[in-house]
Amino acid sequence: MSFPVHRPRRRRRTEPLRGLVRETRLTSSGLVYPMFAVPGTGVRREITSMPGIYQQSVDKLVEECREVAELGIPAVLLFGLPEHKDEVASEASSPDGAVQRAIQAIRKAKLKLIVITDVCLCEYTSHGHCGMIHDGEVLNDPSLTALADAALSHARAGADIVAPSDMMDGRVGAIRKRLDENGFQDLAILSYAAKYSSAFYGPFREAAQSTPQFGDRRSYQMDPANAREAFIEVGEDLAEGADIIMVKPALAYLDVIRRVRERFDVPVAAYNVSGEYAMVKAAATNGWIEEKRAVLEVITGIQRAGASIILTYHAKDIARWLKNGE
C-alpha cells in the first residue's frame, strides 16, 4: 500500500495523536543519577566541565539525594574520592571512606533510593589506573582482590547494587564469590560489561580526579572499533553472575546497545557519560541548541536503541520536565 491510500502524516496531525502512536515513552523509572562523594563536611564544589554537577561531602550529598528521591528518580550511582591516594587503593575498601559513609547516611535518612556504588580503584590509586601496577603494566589477577574488598565494603555499608567499572577479566566472578561468602547473596551486580576506551570520559576525570598518571586505559577498556567483542564481554560477565549489564558510553555506541539488547535477555543499562553531558551543556549555554529538546532527544535515542536503564547527569532535569508534563 502506498500513497494516496497511505498517508503517515495522518498520525502526526496533533500532539495527542502523536502521543497515542509514540513507540518510546520516557519515564523517570529507569533513570539513575550519578553523584560524587568527597571527604569533609560542608563541601559542595561544582565541576567546571559539568555545570550543575558537584563534588560533595556526605552531608551535602544526602541533601541532594532527598531532592533526587522527591523527583521520583529511583536510583543514584555513587563515586568516591579518598583523603589519600596510594599505589594499592587502600581507601577503596575503607569503612570510613566517603562512599561507604554516603551509603550509610542515605540509609539513615530513610530515602526511597536504590543505592548503586561504582566499584573501581582509579579514584583511589596514586597512578590513576583501575588496577594494580607492576613495571608499568596494569595487573589483572592481583586487582581482583582489591575490587572484591571494595565491593564487600559497599555491601556492608548498605548498598543495593554494586557496579564494577574497572574492566579487569574475572572481576564479576571475584566480587560475586566474595559477596556470597559474606552473606550478600541477594545483592545485585550491575557490570560495566562493554566499557569502551573513550574520549568522552574527559570531564569525569576532573570530577573523580582519576586521570592516569602514565599511559592510558586501552589495555583493559575496549577498543571503540569493536562491537562483536561486546558479546564476549557481556557473555562473560553474565556467566560470572552479573544481574544487569551496561554499555558505556551511550551515544557513539547505540549500535552496541541495540545488538546487546537483541542477543541477551537481561536488563541493559547505558551510561550517558560526562563528555556527552558537557557537549550538550556547552552548546546550550552558547544558545546553539535548545537544551531541553536536545536532552530528551538524546535520552529517547538511548532508550529506543534498547537501554531500559539510563545513567545520566541530566536525570534531575528530565524528571522535573516529565513531572511538570512539559
The residue ranges that bind Zn ion (CB under 5 A) are 120, 122, 130
Point out which residues pair with 194 in neighbouring strands.
247
In terms of phi and psi (left: phi > 0; alpha: psi -120 to 50; beta: otherwise), the region of 183 is: left
Return the residue matching grid coordinates 572484591: 148
Nearest approach, Cβ of residue 216 and Zn ion (Å): 12
In terms of CB distance, is 79 or 261 closer to Zn ion?
A: 79
Cα 153 to Cα 99: distance, rounded to the nearest angstrom: 10
In terms of CB distance, is 122 or 242 closer to Zn ion?
A: 122
In terms of CB distance, is 120 or 222 closer to Zn ion?
A: 120
Cα 273 to Cα 161: distance, rounded to the nearest angstrom: 19
In terms of CB distance, is 122 or 207 closer to Zn ion?
A: 122
Nearest approach, Cβ of residue 297 and Zn ion (Å): 30
Q: Which of 248, 292, 316, 323 is flagged as catalytic?
A: 248
Q: What is the 3-state secondary structure (H, E, C) of 271-299?
A: EECHHHHHHHHHHHHCCCCCHHHHHHHHH
Q: Which of 195, 281, 292, 316 is flagged as catalytic?
A: 195
Nearest approach, Cβ of residue 211 and Zn ion (Å): 11
How many angstroms separate the most distant Cα atoms in the chain? 71
In terms of CB distance, is 131 or 173 closer to Zn ion?
A: 131
Amino acid at 305: A
Nearest approach, Cβ of residue 122 and Zn ion (Å): 3
Mark whether 195 is an active-site residue: yes
Nearest approach, Cβ of residue 19 and Zn ion (Å): 41
Q: Are 111 and 69 in contact (CB under 8 A)?
A: yes
DSSP per position, 7-37: -GGGGGSSHHHHHHT-S----GGGEEEEEEE
Phi, psi of 234, rounded to the nearest 5 degrees: -65, -45
Which positions are annotated as active-site residues? 195, 248
